[in-house]
Structure 1
């Protein structure tokens, strides 16, 4: 369990601590060094980093070729950068990862809230949270690439009355969900995959999951 004091200190003020805890339990990781790599709908087997240096090396090796999520919030690495040299160690710092991840998730929550018509009825709010978490995991909501979409601005982010436990997480592990796991040594690069271009490309495109 991520320390509650760390959540209060580092998370975006637009989200309540309880909502952030729910978000991390369902879409994030308890380990700030967690690096998840996907190629399409396949999870790529990578070594588990033991240090921040190993985590950053792993991120550098995969950003631009695969979809990479990092840290406690599973923040989309490569978002808004043009070169891997711009990647910062903030990605694997617990407080900074929570700060960046919750700020981005708050924007996604506002996008979903606006689409729902800014509902206030308590029975609707869990659905809004569900859709926001799915949008975080996939990168899309109703055809909109949410990571690059503009912030809708002043949309109140209320607290759902009921929260689903972490056991109801949308995203299961590769083994339990039956996701095909790929081996980066054996898999040949596909020429039609825009995520496998050279470094000097707009890496923000990799979050369009």
Structure 2
């Protein structure tokens, strides 16, 4: 669980603390030096970084060849940088990572909220939040790259103070395969059985 003082000091002020907590719970890592790497939809195992310098070295070697996510918010390294040498050590510094991660997530929330027609009803927020989390994990919403997309600007007005009760049980692991390939495989398969729930609940 994130420290309340860290949220207050570092998180984007447009997001309520409860939403920041849920965002990091849904997509992040408790380890500020955590690095997750995927290439071609496959998870690549990387050595655990013991220092910020080591983490930055691993990130710089792989940005451009793979999707590299870093830190508390698993921010996509390389977004907005033209070259790996522009990446800074504060990517894995908890406060800086939380700042850029929550600012980017707030933008994605605004994109999704606008797509929903900017509803004022709190009951819609869990669906908006789930879609924004999914967009964060996949990098896309409605076929557009959310990290490079323009910020629609309007504030996300509907944000419950408490916990968002979400139906989505989607995990980062389930998002490894792009939806398009799953659809194309559907024609080749006869009977399809959903085994994703087995072993998920204890």
> Under TM normalisation by the shorter chain, which class is it?
0.7 to 0.9
**Is 1:109–1:132's contact at 8 Å kept on the other side of the alignment?**
yes
Measured in 1, the distance between the counterparts of 2:7 and 2:172 equals: 23
Question: Alpha carbons of 1:179 and 1:85: their partners in 2 closer, same or farther (altered >3 Å)?
Answer: closer
Q: CA deviation at 1:58?
A: 0.9
Match of 1:22 in 2: 22
Question: For the residues of structure 2 that align with 1:51 and 1:152, how far apart are their CA atoms?
Answer: 37
1:60 shift after superposition: 1.1
Is residue 63–residue 78 contact of structure 2 (8 Å, CA) maintained in 1?
Answer: yes
8 Å Cα contact 1:110-1:157 kept in structure 2: no
Question: What is the Cα deviation at residue 158 of structure 1?
Answer: 2.2
1:153 aligns with: 153
The CA deviation string for residues 61-116 of structure 1, in whole angstroms up to 9 with x for no partner, is: 11011000000011110011111110001100000000001001100000000000
State the partner residue of 1:35. Answer: 35
| Cα distance change on mapping 1:88 and 1:163 into 2, 3 Å | same
Of the structure 1 ranges 21-30 and 2-11, higher mean CA displacement relative to structure 2 is found in 2-11
Kindly report the root-mean-square deviation, in angstroms, between the aligned alpha carbons of the 2 structures. 2.0
Q: Matches of 1:98 and 1:35 in 2, distance apart?
A: 15
What is residue 48 of structure 2 aligned with on the other side? 48
Contact kept in structure 1, 2:37 and 2:46, CA below 8 Å: yes
Q: Which runs of 5+ in 2 are unaligned?
A: 178-202
Q: Which runs of 5+ in 1 are unaligned?
A: 181-209
Structure 2 match to 1:170: 170
Q: If the length of structure 1 is used for normalisation, what is the TM-score?
A: 0.79
Q: Deviation per CA, 1:15-35: give whole Å up to 9, x if none.
A: 001000000000111111000
**1:66 matched residue in structure 2:** 66
Residues 24/158 of structure 1: CA separation in 2 closer, same or farther (3 Å cut): same
Deviation of 1:171 after TM superposition, in Å, equals: 2.2
CA contact (8 A) 1:104 1:147 kept: yes
Query: Does the 8 Å contact 1:14/1:157 carry over to 2?
Result: no
Contact 1:109/1:157, CA 8 A, preserved across alignment: no
Secondary structure, counterpart of 2:38 in structure 1: strand
Contact 1:32 1:72 in 2 (8 A): yes
Higher-RCO chain (CA-CA 8 Å, sequence separation at least 6): 1
TM-score of the pair, normalised by structure 2:
0.81
Aligned length, in residue pairs: 176
Deviates more, 1:122-131 or 1:151-160: 151-160
> Deviation above 6 Å: which 4+ runs of structure 1?
none
